[in-house]
Amino acid sequence: MLESIRKHSKFVMILLFLLIIPSFVLVGIDSNYFSGASPVVARVDGKDITQNDWDNAHRMESDRLRAEQPNLDAKLLDTPEARYVTLERLVRDRVFQVAAQKLHLVTSDATLARALQDIPAIASLRKADGSLDAEGYRNLLAAQGMTPEGFEASMRRDLSLSQVMGGVMNTALATQPVADLALDAMLQRRQVQLARFPAADYSSQVQPTEADLQAYYDQHKDLFEQAEHASIEYLVLDLPAVRERIALNEDDLRTYYQENGARLAGVQQERRASHILINAPQTMAASEREAAKAKAQELLAQVQADPASFASVARAQSQDTGSAPQGGDLGFFSRGAMVPEFEKAAFALAKGQISDVVETEFGFHIIEVTDIKEPELPSFEALRPKIEEALKEQQAQRQFAEEAENFTNSVYEQSESLAPTAEKLGLQVHTADNVRRIPQVGVSGPLANERFLEALFSNDSLDNKRNTDAIEFGTNQLVAGRVVAYTPAKQLTLDEVRDQVRTAYIAQEAAKLAQQDGAAKLAAWQTDAAQAGSHLQPAVVIARNDAHELPLAVLDAALQAPVQQLPVFVGVDLKAQGYAVVKINEVLPPQTKPQELAELALAQYEQLYVQAEGAAYYEILKKKFNVQFKVDKP
C-alpha cells in the first residue's frame, strides 16, 4: 500500500487537494487557525488589545521596575493585581492615542525642540555657537539603545498624548470660596459627649455551657488550627562578617595613609592664582567668540614672552572687573571652588607656570599659579582608626565577592549540612524555632525574607532536609538554611484549645450584650435627652485633625451625623470593643487658619480638584471610545 502511494504520490496530492479545498470553501477558514491570534482582553474604539499585547507590555514594565529597583521581589510583579494595572495603563494609553488622533493634536517641530532642550543631558550637548553636537546626541541615544529618529518619534507621540489631558487639567480652576466650602466641611468642629459601653464590663454576665463552647468551636474551627512550622539552621554571609576576619598589613596601612591621608583628614591643597579673562559667554555669537579667543591668544603670547608682565597685563586687559585691579589675583582656593575647566588647568600647573588659553562658560582665561599651600596633614597614628576602617571596608568589599561565590557553591555541593561551609568560611550556624512560611510580625533579617522562607518550605527542603540555595536578602547579604524538624499544620481539638474557645466565646457574647444595652440607651435618650445625664462624659470639641483619641468609627459618626436639630444622639457599633453613644451638642466653624496655612490648603485643594477633573474627563473618553474590558478585575 505504502509503495503504491510512493509511486503515485503526484496523483495522491492532486486528489487530496481536490477533497480538502471544497471543505474550506463550504465551512470557511478560521483566521485564527493560521494567524495564531491571541485572545482579546480589551477593546478601545473598536480596536482590539490582545493577550500578546498585554503580556509584552507587562514584561516591559516589569523589566523597567527591576532595573530601577534591583532588590524588588519579582513575585510582586507577577500577581494578578499587578498584571491588571498594566492592562489598565495599556487601555489608558490607547484611549489617549485615539483622542489625540481624532482631536488632531500634533506636535510641531518647535514644540519638540523646546522639549528636547528641557532634557539636561541633551541641553549639555549644545556647542558654543548654540548648535547641537549631533555626534554626541547620537551617541547619547545609542547608549540607551535608541536612534534619534525613534527617540524623537516617541517624544512627539508623548507630547501629543499629553495634550489630551493637558487641555482639561491645565485649565482647571479652584477658587478660594469653593475651596473654603469644601475644606470647611472637612475641618468643621463639633462639641460632643460620649457614653461608652465596653464589652469587658459585660463579661461576668456570660456563663457558657459545654454546648455553647462546642457550637462556637464548630463554627470557628479555622481559628483553632496549628500553623505549620519548622526548626531550622541557617548561615549568613554579609559584609560585617567578612570585615571581622580581615587582618590588616602595617605596610598597607602606611601606603593608604600616603595616598589617602589628606582625603580622610578632610584637608586639601590650596593654590593661589592670577588670571586674565576675555569675556565670551555661551550666548555670544560664534564670530564674536572667535574674536575673543584670538584676543586671548595675543595676550598669552605677550605674557609668555615676559612672564613678569602678567600682573600689569591683567590690570590693563583683563575683563574680570573684580580681580583686574589686583593684577588678576584670585587669592587661595581649593578644589571645588572654581568651574571644572579652570580648576583642572590650575591644579595641573607648577608654581610660577602659565597655562595655555582655557575656555570656560565665562570666556577665555590665561592662568598663572603664584603659590601652592600644602595642607598640614595629621600624623599617621592620629588617622590610624579612620585608615583601618576605610581599608577594611575596601578589602571587605573585594573579599565578599570571592566568599559569596564560595558560599553559594559550598551550600549546594555539600547540601546535607551547613557545618562544612561554616567551618570553611569561619561563619556561625544560627538556629531558629517556630519558623512559619509567612514572615511574622516583629521578625527581621533573613527570617523576614519571603524568598528564603519559600526556599525553606519547598518540597526538596522539607522532604530531603537539604540546604537551600544561597539567597540574597539584602545588599551584600546572603543566607542559606536547612530544616531540622518540621511540624505540618493540623486542626487542634476542643480539649486542646478549651481555654481559648471559652475566652473567645465570652468576648463575643459580652460584645453583643454591650451593643444591646447601648442601643436600648440610645433609643431612650433620643426620646428624652435628660435621661442621658451622668452616663455622658465631659464635653470635648473634636475635628478631623483633633480626634481626642476617639476611635475612628466614633469620630466618623460624630462628624458625619446630620445636625439640622441639636442635640443629636448617634450610636456606634464598636464590634468586639462594645458600643458607644455620641451626643452632638454644637457645631463650630473651623479655627482661623494663618495665611500661610490657608494658601497651602488652597494649593492642596487645587491639586485634588485637578486630579478629579482629569479622572472625570478620562471616564468621558472611555465612554466616548467605547472601552471594553474582556477580563475581570481581580
Question: Which residue ranges make up each domain of the chain?
Answer: 2-35, 38-104+594-634, 105-155, 189-223+497-588, 229-242+402-488, 268-373
Kindly tell me if the per-residue pLDDT of 96 is higher than 70: yes
Averaged pLDDT for residues 27-47: 65
Stretch among 156-170, 190-204, 497-511 having the lowest mean pLDDT = 156-170
| Alpha-carbon span 179 to 97, nearest angstrom | 33
- In 3D, which of 190, 189, 196, 191 has the Cα closest to residue 537? 196
Q: Is 139 helix (H, G, I), strand (E, B) or coil?
A: helix
Q: Kindly indicate the confidence band of residue 327, based on its pLDDT and cuts at 50, 70 and 90.
A: very high
Kindly tell me if the per-residue pLDDT of 590 is higher than 60: yes
CA within 13 Å, CB half, 536: 21
Q: Are 578 and 197 in contact, with CB atoms under 8 Å apart?
A: yes
Q: Kindly indicate the confidence band of residue 24, based on its pLDDT and cuts at 50, 70 and 90.
A: very low
- The per-residue pLDDT for range 255-300, each reduced to its tens digit, is 877 767 666 665 677 899 999 999 998 888 888 889 999 999 999 9
Q: 531 versus 24: which is more confidently predicted?
A: 531
Kindly tell me if the per-residue pLDDT of 33 is higher than 60: no
- Rounded to 10°, the helix 380-413/250-265 angle is 120
Cell reading at 326 = 589686583
List residues bridging with 235 in a β-sheet: 480
Concatenating the DSSP letter of every residue in 355-369 gives ---EEETTEEEEEEE
Cell reading at 435 = 519558623
pLDDT at 199: 95
Q: Are 439 and 453 in contact, with CB atoms under 8 Å apart?
A: yes
**Residue 331: its H or E element:** strand 329-333
| Alpha-carbon span 515 to 527, nearest angstrom | 19
Q: 210 versus 593: which is more confidently predicted?
A: 210
Kindly tell me if the per-residue pLDDT of 516 is higher than 90: yes
pLDDT at 16: 43
Kindly tell me if the per-residue pLDDT of 72 is higher than 80: no
Q: 13 versus 152: which is more confidently predicted?
A: 152
Q: 456 versus 258: which is more confidently predicted?
A: 456
Averaged pLDDT for residues 511-522: 96
Kindly tell me if the per-residue pLDDT of 473 is higher than 50: yes
Amino acid identity, position 10: K
Cis bond upstream, residue 420 (ω within 30): no
The architecture CATH gives domain 268-373: Roll (3.10)
Q: Is 465 helix (H, G, I), strand (E, B) or coil?
A: coil
At residue 65's C-alpha, the angle toward residues 59 and 68, to 5°, is 140
Kindly tell me if the per-residue pLDDT of 396 is higher than 90: no
Q: Are 95 and 621 in contact, with CB atoms under 8 Å apart?
A: yes
Name the pTM for this structure. 0.48
pLDDT at 128: 63
| Alpha-carbon span 238 to 476, nearest angstrom | 6
pLDDT at 592: 67
